[in-house]
Amino acid sequence: MAETTERRAAEAPTSKSARTRERILDAAAHVLSRKGYAGTRLADVAAHAQLQAPTIYYHFASRDELIEEVMWVGAARVHAHVVAELEALPAETSPLDRILTAVEAHLRYELLISDYTTASIRNANQVPEGLRAKAAAEEAAYARLWRDLFTAAMDAGQLRADLDITVTRMLLLGAMNWAAEWWNPRHRTLDDLVRATQDMVRYGMAPATA
């Protein structure tokens, strides 16, 4: 019953088998983010999941299928979380405020489940083509969400008229994705990071030119 608070993120693992599967997936994300695609050894994954390597084959058909799922799950969960946060906003929320909400949701979720995030970020271009398909489709859909947010804000006149929204969108996502590489909760709170990122979007770095 104490689990209910956890269920927002992942779906609830019911059977014992499902829970073991989830444990293997988490372990794989952990190893994948630190060792890369080629360096992800099933023996290491198994050790983190507290079982023996061959056991993985009871839950996944192959090493590649396991890794494919990690790559996909990371992207899918961030996407779903941002969508949920946006849908929770009042209908009259301005396009710019929707962007700022998306920024906060992306950062919080990315840094919360950072093993999956860093795993898919660092390995996006290292994993063999075949394994990329599902994750790539998910990322494309997520990119469309951001593109729509920017287009709406531009149409509403809330962005500088001469802004290159394609490039700017990628710069913003890059700044956020990179945070998983350096952010340390002992130096800055997540709240501070979110605020600094939102301020960067709104005001840039220079003071308002009087």
Applying CB under 8 A, the residues found at the interface with a second copy are 33-40, 96, 118, 122-126, 157-164, 166-168, 170-179, 181-183, 187-188, 192-193, 195-197, 199-209
**One residue of 47, 53, 80, 201 binding DNA per CB under 7 A:** 53
Burial class (CB in 10 A: 0-12, 13-18, 19+), 12: exposed
Instruction: In angstroms, give the least distance from the CB of 163 to DNA.
Output: 46
By rule CB under 7 A, what string of x and - marks binding of each residue 24-43 to DNA? Answer: ----------------xxxx
Q: Yes or no: say if 13 and 22 are a contact pair by the CB < 8 Å rule.
A: yes
Binding partner of 33, given a second copy, DNA, none, CB within 5-8 angstroms per partner class: a second copy
List the structure tokens of 208: 């308002």
By the rule CB under 7 A, 15 interacts with DNA: yes
Instruction: In angstroms, give the least distance from the CB of 115 to a second copy.
Output: 12
Binding partner of 189, given a second copy, DNA, none, CB within 5-8 angstroms per partner class: none
**One residue of 51, 136, 143, 200 binding DNA per CB under 7 A:** 51
List the structure tokens of 169: 């969108």
Closer by beta carbon to DNA, 40 or else 117? 40
Place of tokens 């660092």: 122
Nearest CA among 204, 180, 66 for reference residue 121: 180
Q: Yes or no: say if 137 and 203 are a contact pair by the CB < 8 Å rule.
A: no
Closer by beta carbon to DNA, 53 or else 152? 53
Closer by beta carbon to DNA, 41 or else 160? 41
| Helix (H), strand (E) at residue 198 | helix 190-203
Closer by beta carbon to a second copy, 59 or else 108? 108
CA-to-CA distance for 103 and 37, rounded, in angstroms? Answer: 28
CA-to-CA distance for 66 and 62, rounded, in angstroms? Answer: 6
By rule CB under 7 A, what string of x and - marks binding of each residue 54-93 to DNA? Answer: xx-xxx--xxx-----------------------------
Which string of b and e fits 158-197 if b means at least 16 CB within 10 Å? Answer: ebeeeeebeeebeebeeebbebbeebeeeeeeeeebbeeb
Binding partner of 63, given DNA, a second copy, none, CB within 5-8 angstroms per partner class: DNA
